Chains A and B, each alone.
Chain A
Amino acid sequence: MSRVAAFVFRRKGGKGWHWTDIVTWVWLVGGLFIMFGPAVWLVGSSLKTPAALAEFPPTILPYVTQKVSVEGFDKPFDLYEVTLDDGSKATLAEVRRIGIVSQMVDPKAPGEIIKVNIAQRTPVREMSFATENYTEPFTHFDFFRYLWNSVFVTVVATLITLVVNSMAAFALSKYEFRGRTAAMLVILATLMVPLSVIMVPLYSIVSALGLFNSLWGVILPTVATPTGVFILRQYMLTIPDELVDAARMDKASEWQIYWRIILPLTAPALAVLAIFSVVWRWNDFLWPLIVLSRKELYTLQVGLSIYSGELNVQWHFILAMTVVTMIPVVLVFIFLQRFITTGIAGTGLK
Chain B
Amino acid sequence: MIGAAPAFVPVPRLGAGGEGSSKVEEEKKMNKINTMLAAFAVGLLSSTAAFAGEVRIMWYSDGVEGEVLQDLLGRFMKDNPGINVILDNVSYSVVREQLPVQLEAGAGPDIARVTNLKALSPHWLDLRPLVADAAYWDENFGGQADWMRPDGSNQISGFMTQITLAGGFANKTLFEQAGVAIPSKEATWDDWAKAAKQVAESQQVPFAMALDRSGHRLTGPNVSYGANYIGADGKPAPLDDGAKAFIGKFVGWVADGTMSKDVWVSAAGSTYRAGADDFINGQLAYYYSGSWQVPNFSTKIGSNFDWVATASPCGTVNCTGMPGGAGLVAIKYTKNPQEVAKVMDYLAREDVVKEFSERTLFLPAHKGLVAKGLEFKTDDAQAKAALNTFVAATAGLSDVAQKLPGWFWSDAYYGALVTRVSQAAAGELTLEEAFSRIDADVAAKVKDSGL
Residues on A lying within 8 angstroms of B by beta carbon are 50-51, 54-56, 78, 94, 97, 99-100, 118-119, 140, 200, 203-204, 207, 209-216, 220, 289-290, 293-297, 305-312, 314
Contact = CB atoms under 8 A, between A and B. Distances in A.
A227 B37 CA distance: 26
Q: Which of A212, A312, A314 counts the most chain B CB atoms within 10 A? A: A312
A211 B300 CA distance: 42
A306 to B, nearest CB: 4
Contacts of A293: 58, 88, 90, 94, 98-99, 102, 109
A289 B107 CA distance: 16
Given A140-B67, A295-B87, A311 B107 contact: no
Contacts of A56: 281, 283
Contact of B91 (A94, A296, A305): A305
A306 B96 CA distance: 13
Contact of B280 (A51, A100, A296, A310): A51
Interface residues of B, number: 61
B148 to A, nearest CB: 16
B63 A99 contact: no
**Most A-side CB within 10 Å, residue of B91, B93, B302:** B91
A200 to B, nearest CB: 8
A204 B107 CA distance: 12
B277 A54 contact: yes
Contact of B107 (A50, A140, A207, A215): A207
Contact of A309 (B61, B87, B101, B172): B61
Nearest to A101: B176
A290 B94 CA distance: 7
Contacts of A97: 303, 306
A54 B280 contact: yes
A207 B105 CA distance: 8
Closest 9 CB pairs of A and B: A309-B62, A210-B33, A305-B91, A312-B62, A310-B92, A308-B91, A306-B89, A295-B88, A99-B176
Interface stretch (B40-48, B242-250, B401-409, B432-440): B40-48
A308 B95 CA distance: 11
Nearest to B379: A75
A216 B41 contact: yes
B225 interface: no
A307 B66 CA distance: 10
A51 B300 contact: yes
A163 to B, nearest CB: 12
A229 B64 CA distance: 47
Residue with the greatest number of chain A CB neighbours at <10 A, chosen from B70, B99, B293, B303: B303
Contacts of B172: 99
Contacts of B58: 293
B89 A99 contact: no
